[in-house]
Chain A
Amino acid sequence: MDMKRGYYEDIELFRTKTSLFGVLFLIGLFVLTPFLVGDYNLYLINLIAINSIVAIGLNILVGYTGQISLGHAGFFALGAYACVLSMVKLGLPFVIALPLAGFFAAGFGFFLGLPSLRLEGPYLAIATLGFGMAVTQIISHSEFTGGHMGIEAPKMALGPFEANTSAQQYAVIMTVTFIMTIAAINMMKTRVGRAFRAIRDSEIAAEAMGINVLKYKTLAFAVSAFYAGIAGALMAFALEHVSAGSFNLILSITFLAMIIVGGLGSIMGSILGAALLTYLQIKLQVIQEAPVIGPFLLDISKSYFTPEGLPNIQSIIIGGIMIAIVIFEPYGVNGIYLRIKRYWKMWPF
């Protein structure tokens, strides 16, 4: 269906007029959004955009390069703290601190990538998981980072322009998200992206074809960590506060769940998964306020469970979704989309 007849066709960003029109329409929609929706919904969209950045980065590592990471909350935390601390302690402007946070996380990603050359499967999972735990532990016990209390984020300022409201933050966050998405799509079409996929499909074959596995595996970790670092920095401003306790194992699992739900090896899938899971997480925390199902669940809680434990239902549902996706739809939401698309293209066959 998606037959490409030449190299230049492969690297084109918009292959048809329709897709160009679609992207322009999407940009227009994003520009208009702050005027159409309320403040709370904008905050929600900001969180979705930030989580999309992490999901894209994680998908580059897991979906495209075939490595496993359970430590992305660590990179997320590194980015958040690097950005906030460089602004508070060194007085750097936001425009410099943001990429700095990304490169700081990428440096750690490079070092975590080194053991990945010899480890695979559960061994790599435990090494990355240990990294994530170690980062949180060190941050929460260090005086420099404010310990358990965390630190307040300063204002997000671009020269004279200061982003205070959700709408102003939306402008900054959406721009960054857009750039990062386009960069990821383009990178996957270059030599680097093809090397990543070759390593995923067969490391030995890739090496035999002359791909420098050392270079590209560590690069995948570094790029992925860069994305997580940028997202962490943005999250610090969206929440206006960073504390080490929030960057726990559950967060790493949630990031992994996003790309599993969205679809491995797909940029659009990462965004869809991030949107779905972020929305679910926020809404399920207040499930007792839902119209029909809320009182029903509250009744059940009173008779069989504890009412104050009801928000825990979000981890039950997210866990259930993760398992259901692996069992029934291994390609995630993106797979469902591709199937529907093929059905319409092939119609009536």
Chain B
Amino acid sequence: MNLFFDLFVGGISIGACYALVALSMVIIYKTSEVPNFAQGEMAMISTFVAYTIMESYGAGFWVSAGLTLVFAFLLGMVLELSFLRPADNPGILGSIVITLGAEMILYGLAGWKWGANQNPFPIPFSEYSGFTFGPIRITEVNLWTIVASLLIMFLLFAFFRYTKMGTAMKAVQQNAFAAKAMGIPTRRILTLTWGLSSATGAVAGMLIAPIATLDPNMMLDPMLKGFAGAVLGGMTSLPGAALGAYMLGLIENYFGGYVSLEFKSVVAFAVIVVILCVRPSGLFVKHYEKKV
């Protein structure tokens, strides 16, 4: 029974990281229908920036994390301004190609700047000591990962619910044309959306880096899993995407623990394909047939 709870904690913890990635992708997809394949590399670059601030300038963890969030916000805005905005109605394939191109550029830049070395990412939490609640043991890192992701989700919820900017973003998501007619600067909102999404992704990067090691390939797998989780839950619903990502983390961890560790990564995608065949828009979203 202990294995069951250990796998549960591990699954929720990795699912929390996936959920943050999923949320950052959904924030962009909902506003502009762009599936952002560069999300993982954006988070990876941000994490490298945090690492450099800590290593080269000797800043503390919290200071560099704060600076990194600012950097990530700017990075997202710059990417939108320089790549997405000049494209004239690129369509779904065009936007996928643009974000894939951005991914390759960021990946190449990180490889050029930091090499392929695997760097340890220092955090003020222990990976080994932890807390015990009855049969459940949880390490400090896992606990903080779960808490941080829940906190970010709560903040995002509050932002979209109670601030003027959040309401404006929701308006653009629902109907960009009508939002424009109501006096909302839709293009500026779109740029800010990218910044917000990039900052959310950067948190995910900084939570994943201590579990994995810090290198340019770090975010490749979490990005795909986060995307898969978002697709599983539904790309057009924030809570749905987060739930889907948590489910994916759990499924993956239980499969790895009970069936086969080697094919742990495969099962996530098998589940996605099967579920998409049954519910083409994800589990928690109503499917709309396209009208002629």
Contact = CB atoms under 8 A, between A and B. Distances in A.
A326 B266 contact: no
Interface stretch (B48-56, B61-69, B108-116, B205-213): B108-116
Interface in B77-130: 83, 86-88, 90, 92-94, 96-98, 100-105, 107-116
A326 B114 contact: no
Contacts of A114: 277
Contacts of B189: none
A123 B276 contact: yes
B220 A249 contact: yes
Contacts of B105: 315-316, 319-320, 323
A306 B114 contact: yes
Contact of B280 (A118, A250, A310, A317): A118
Contact of A313 (B33, B96, B108): B108
Given A125-B96, A249-B220, A256-B100, A313 B112 contact: yes
Given A127-B276, A204-B292, A326-B94, A318 B104 contact: yes
Contact of A126 (B93, B109, B228): B228
Interface in B126-166: none
A316 B231 CA distance: 28
Nearest to A203: B290
A323 B273 contact: no
Contact of B103 (A131, A260, A314, A319): A319
B35 interface: yes
Q: Interface residues of A: mostly helix, strand, loop or mixed?
A: helix
A323 B280 contact: no
B266 A137 contact: yes
Contact of B111 (A121, A304, A315, A319): A315
A325 B104 CA distance: 15
Contacts of A121: 33, 35, 92
B270 A319 contact: no
- Which residue among B87, B96, B102, B224 has the maximum number of chain A CB atoms within 10 Å of its CB? B96
Given A309-B113, A326-B98, A315 B224 contact: no
Contact of B224 (A62, A123, A133, A256): A133
A163 interface: no
A210 to B, nearest CB: 16
Contacts of B101: 257, 318-323, 326
Nearest to A133: B269
A123 B102 contact: no
A305 interface: yes
B276 A68 contact: no
B32 interface: no
Contact of B228 (A130, A318, A327): A130
A138 interface: yes
A316 B272 contact: no
Contacts of B103: 253, 319
A253 B273 CA distance: 20
A129 B93 CA distance: 14
A281 B214 CA distance: 26
Interface string A154-197: 00000000000000000000000000000000000000000000
A314 B108 CA distance: 7
Contact of B116 (A309, A315, A326, A330): A309
B265 interface: yes
Given A123-B280, A131-B273, A309 B115 contact: yes
B112 A310 contact: yes
Given A121-B35, A122-B92, A249-B220, A306 B270 contact: no
Nearest to B87: A327
A320 B35 CA distance: 18
Interface in A12-48: none
A193 to B, nearest CB: 19
A326 to B, nearest CB: 5
A202 B225 CA distance: 32
A40 B269 CA distance: 40
Contacts of A122: 29, 35, 92, 96, 231, 235
24 contacts: A119-B276, A126-B227, A126-B228, A129-B269, A130-B270, A133-B266, A141-B263, A257-B97, A257-B100, A304-B113, A305-B113, A309-B112, A315-B107, A316-B104, A316-B109, A319-B103, A319-B105, A320-B101, A323-B105, A326-B97, A326-B101, A327-B83, A327-B87, A330-B90
Given A115-B273, A312-B109, A315-B111, 6 more contacts: A123-B235, A123-B281, A133-B269, A137-B265, A316-B108, A319-B107
Interface of B: 29, 33, 35, 83, 86-88, 90, 92-94, 96-98, 100-105, 107-116, 220, 224, 227-228, 231, 235, 262-263, 265-266, 268-270, 272-273, 276-277, 280-281, 290, 292
